[in-house]
Structure 1
């Protein structure tokens, strides 16, 4: 299993352990993890959740009056070790 998959699964598991319901989605270049954050989440759990998502490549919080608060994280998939990793026309 690629390291990026392990990282994404670890983030989801640790957010679940805090008591948040998580969902993961695979994309072409990254894996996203989202968790709905209840209004009643204690401050200590918030700190722990932020420490967890800080291990991702990107993270944030979406808050709306209609849908509540969603904490999200994105873990980039590994770059291939061989092949055209520098893009078309950039090979040596």
Structure 2
């Protein structure tokens, strides 16, 4: 398992341990982790949640009166050491 995938799975597991339901999705250049954040999440738990997502390469919180609060984190996949690292569709 690549290191980036291990990191993403670890973040998801730690968020789950804090009582959040997580979704993990693989994308071409990153792995995303999403979790719905309940309104009743204790203030003390926020610190732990932020410590977990801070291990990701990017993270944020989407809040809407219609859909609630969704925490997201992204872990970049490793860039190949050789070859075309720009990927398809990028011109040089």
**Structure 2 partner of 1:57:** 57
CA displacement, residues 33-60 of structure 1 (integer Å, 9 cap, x when unaligned): 0000000001111110011001101000
Tell me which residue corresponds to 2:16: 16
Please name the residue that 1:32 is paired with: 32
**Normalization by structure 2: what TM-score?**
0.91
**Structure 1: how far apart are the matches of 2:86 and 2:22?**
34
Q: 1:86 to 1:27 in 2, by over 3 A?
A: closer
Residue 81 of structure 1: SS of its match in structure 2?
Answer: coil
Distance in 2, Cα, partners of 1:65 & 1:86: 39
Q: CA RMSD in A?
A: 1.3
Residues 1:77 and 2:82 aligned together: no
Structure 2's unaligned 5+ residue stretches are none
